[in-house]
C-alpha cells in the first residue's frame, strides 16, 4: 500500500548501514547503531498512539459543530426509544470527508484497522462539549412557527407568517438585505421526510423567494437530504436560525 511504512525494512537498512561502521570503528559505533535500531523500533511502536492523537486533534477542532449535530440528529421516538441513526450517519460522514483526508496516505494502513476507534474518538469529543440548554420548542405546530419566526427576527430578519391555510408550503417569509427566504417549519418527533422538501421547493416559486428552507426540531431522512441537495432547499435545526445571515445564503 502506498505510503505504508515498513518497520522491518527500516530496521534492516539501519543494521546494514550501521553494523559495518560499528565493526570498523569499534564499540562506540556499535552502541550508536544499537541506539538507532531501538529508536526505529520505538517510533514504530508509538505510531498507533500518534495516529489516535492526530484523529483526536482533528475531531476536537470541530467538537462544537459535532456536538450540535449530535443533539440535532438524535431524538426519542413515540415508543420511548432513543434514535441516533441520523447522528451515526453524520459521524461517518465527518470521518470520511474530514478526518481521513487530513490523515492522508501516511496513515492509510492504520485507518483501515482503527476504524471503530476513530468513530469512538469522534463520539467522545462530541459528547465532551457542554452545549447550552436547548430552549424547549413548542409542541404545537402554529406555536412552533411563531417560535421560529421570533428566532429569525432576533437574527435581524423581517418576518411574515403566512395564513394557516393556503400557504402553499410556506409558514414564514423572511427578508434580510434584499434576500427573500421561504421557510417551512416542522415540529416532529421523527426525522422530516422528503415531502417537506418538495413542499418547500414549490413554496419558493409561489412566494417568489430567493432561497427555501425546512426548519425542524428533528433531523432529516436520507431521502430528504438527497432531494434537498438536488433542489437547493436548506435543511436546518431551529437553533441555526439564531445566526442565519442573508449574505451567507446568497454566497452559498
- Domain ranges in the chain are 9-128, 141-251
pLDDT tier for residue 139 given thresholds of 50, 70 and 90: confident
Spatial separation of the C-alpha atoms in residues 34 and 41, rounded to whole Å: 11
Joined together, the cell numbers standing for residue 22 give: 560499528
Task: Report yes or no: 137 and 147 within 8 Å, Cβ to Cβ.
Answer: yes
Residue 98 is predicted with a pLDDT of: 96
Q: Does the pLDDT value for residue 89 go beyond 50?
A: yes
Residue 112 is predicted with a pLDDT of: 86
Q: How far apart are the first and last CA of the chain?
A: 38
> How does pLDDT run across 16-65, given as a tens digit for each residue?
454 555 455 546 655 665 555 555 555 555 678 889 999 999 999 999 88
- Tell me which CATH code domain 141-251 carries: 3.40.1350.10
Q: What is the average pLDDT across 110-123? A: 93
pLDDT tier for residue 12 given thresholds of 50, 70 and 90: very low
**φ and ψ at residue 13, rounded to 5 degrees:** -70, -30
Q: Does the pLDDT value for residue 250 go beyond 50?
A: yes
Strands of 88-138, DSSP E: none
Strands of 124-216, DSSP E: 158-161, 172-176, 179-186, 211-216
Q: Of 221, 144, 147, 210, give the one whose Cα is nearest residue 177.
A: 210
Q: Which position has the higher pLDDT, 45 or 152?
A: 152
Joined together, the cell numbers standing for residue 6 give: 515498513
Which range has the worst mean pLDDT, 38-52, 75-89, 121-135?
38-52
Q: What is the reported pTM?
A: 0.61
> How does pLDDT run across 155-213, given as a tens digit for each residue?
999 999 998 766 688 999 999 999 999 999 998 878 899 999 999 999 999 999 999 99
Residue 91 is predicted with a pLDDT of: 95
Joined together, the cell numbers standing for residue 86 give: 441520523
Joined together, the cell numbers standing for residue 215 give: 426548519
Q: Over the chain, what is the mean pLDDT?
A: 82
Q: What is the average pLDDT across 67-83? A: 82
Measured in residues, the chain has a length of 252
- Residue 84 DSSP SS3: coil
Amino acid at each position: 500500500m502506498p505510503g505504508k511504512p515498513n518497520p522491518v525494512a527500516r530496521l534492516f537498512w539501519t543494521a546494514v548501514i550501521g553494523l559495518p561502521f560499528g565493526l570498523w570503528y569499534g564499540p562506540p559505533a556499535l552502541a550508536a547503531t544499537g541506539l538507532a535500531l531501538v529508536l526505529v523500533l520505538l517510533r514504530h511502536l508509538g505510531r498507533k498512539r500518534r495516529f489516535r492523537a492526530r484523529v483526536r486533534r482533528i475531531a476536537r477542532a470541530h467538537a462544537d459543530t459535532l456536538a450540535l449535530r449530535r443533539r440535532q440528529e438524535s431524538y426519542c421516538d413515540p415508543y420511548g426509544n432513543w434514535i441516533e441513526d441520523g447522528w451515526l450517519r453524520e459521524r461517518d460522514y465527518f470521518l470520511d470527508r474530514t478526518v481521513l483526508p487530513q490523515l492522508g496516505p501516511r496513515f492509510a494502513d492504520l485507518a483501515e484497522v482503527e476504524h471503530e476507534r476513530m468513530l469512538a474518538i469522534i463520539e467522545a469529543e462530541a459528547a465532551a462539549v457542554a452545549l447550552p440548554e436547548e430552549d424547549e420548542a413548542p409542541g404545537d405546530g402554529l406555536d412552533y412557527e411563531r417560535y421560529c419566526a421570533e428566532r429569525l427576527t432576533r437574527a435581524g430578519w423581517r418576518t411574515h407568517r403566512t395564513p394557516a391555510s393556503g400557504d402553499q408550503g410556506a409558514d414564514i417569509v423572511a427578508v434580510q438585505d434584499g434576500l427573500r427566504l421561504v421557510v417551512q417549519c416542522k415540529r416532529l418527533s421523527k426525522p422530516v421526510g422528503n415531502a417537506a422538501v418538495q413542499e418547500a421547493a414549490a413554496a419558493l416559486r409561489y412566494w417568489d423567494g430567493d432561497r427555501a428552507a425546512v426548519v425542524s426540531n428533528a433531523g432529516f431522512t436520507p431521502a430528504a437530504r438527497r432531494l434537498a441537495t438536488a433542489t437547493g432547499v436548506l435543511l436546518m435545526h431551529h437553533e441555526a436560525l439564531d445566526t442565519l445571515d442573508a449574505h451567507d445564503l446568497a454566497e452559498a
